[in-house]
Each structure stands twice: as structure tokens, then as C-alpha cells.
Amino acid sequence: MVFIGEKGVFQYLSAQEFRHIVRIAGKDIPGTKKTIIGISQVKGMGYSFAKSILDILKINPNSNVGFLTESQVEEIEKAMRNPASVNIPSWFLNRRKDIDSGSDLHLITSDIDFNVRNDIEREKGMNSWRGFRHTYGLKVRGQRTRTTGRKGGAVGVRKGGKVLPAGAPAEGAAAPAATAAAAPAATAAAAPAAKGAAAPAKDSKASPAKPAAEKKAK
């Protein structure tokens, strides 16, 4: 089946050869999605980048992904990994002047996470300011940190205790009654001990008082 559109002739597969799942750059894309939407689901591929690739490859962006042929899928993957092969300008790429190779690259899928992780570790290793900020989990690009970017414990007042049903006695209500009942017993037990402690003081021999007459004679 052939469809003639505004930008050229597009080849379509018959309904019998429709694929419900198409794997593009390691990602499974439902065949019912539009081609431009399906390609933009690959990490590192935006809507504008996907549209530019489809326009260069003369593929209808509004057709379903399930109607793409194997050769078209290979061309799309090749253009994703090496955009320079289809004359896409360098300012459209997401990693220009790579620090290792010095060339302009366009990273997709897991290559993005790998390179970002390496860049962060490089900053930490050279003890740069950005590296210190990454180490302590702070914002790196000059954002406000007074009211945002908080991590860890809860911010604010923590409410304690449990909500009891209506009419139920509180847990601390029985404590004063028990304390009041135990107070007389403790006082009674302490009284004999106090008497026993004072008894030896009475038995102790006191110095005999001298008569008043002797005092006058002296």
C-alpha cells in the first residue's frame, strides 16, 4: 500500500504484517503509537529531534510504529546513534565537545546515565566546588537552599501520642491514684525507721550536769 503525502511517497505495510511491539534502540514501543511519539519515548530523543530524523529519512511521522519495516527501524537507530551521518547540525546534539574524545556526540538510553555518573565522579575527584556540592547532596547550580532542597528528617513539629476513643481513660490517669495510694504506705514504713534511728540518740550517755553550789564555790 502506497500513500502520497505532502513530503513525498511513504511505504506502508499491509494490516497482516502489522507488529504490535517494535523494539527501537533497546526499548519496546507499542505498534499503535504514532511514529514520532514512539521515537520520542527513547531516552535522549526529544520531539523535535525525532521529527527532524523522520523528515530526513522521509518517514511519515503520523503513521503507526507497527507499520515500520526492519530497514526503516535500522535507519532510525543509525540516525539516533550517529546524527552526523544524516547531516543533523552539531548544535542539536546533547553532548558537544566530549571531555574524553573532544567530538560532538548524541547520547541515548543508558549512555546518558553512564556519562553523567562519570562526570560527577570526576568533579568529586578533582575537589572542585561542584564536586563538594555533589558530595554533600546540595544544589549545584546556584539555586536557593533556604527553603528548598531539604532532605532527611521531617520538617516541622512532630506530633506524639495516640488518639483514644471517646470515654476511654487516659494512660496517665491511673498514675496519680496509684501514687496517692502508695504514699501513706511509704510514710508508715518510714516512720518506724525514723524512730529506730532516733532511739540510739536517747540511750547515749550525756555528761552529768554540775550542781549550782559547786559553780558558786568556784
Dump pLDDT digits (tens) for 138-173.
999 999 999 888 877 665 666 666 666 777 676 655
More confident residue, 42 or 15: 42
CATH 3.10.105.10 fits 2-92, yes or no: no
Using only C-alpha atoms, the chain has a radius of gyration, in whole angstroms, of 44
Grid coordinates belonging to 65: 510504529
Reported as a single tens digit per residue, the pLDDT across 45-90 is: 999 999 999 999 999 999 999 999 999 999 999 999 999 889 999 9
Spans of all domains in the chain: 2-92, 109-140
> In the prediction, which pLDDT does 92 show?
92
Q: Of the ranges 119-133, 145-159, 167-181, 187-201, which one carries the lowest mean pLDDT score?
A: 187-201
Say how far residue 163 (Cα) sits from the centre of its chain: 31
18 burial (CB, 10 Å; 0-12 / 13-18 / 19+) is middle
Question: Angle, to 10 degrees, between the axis of helix 70-81 and the axis of helix 47-56?
Answer: 120
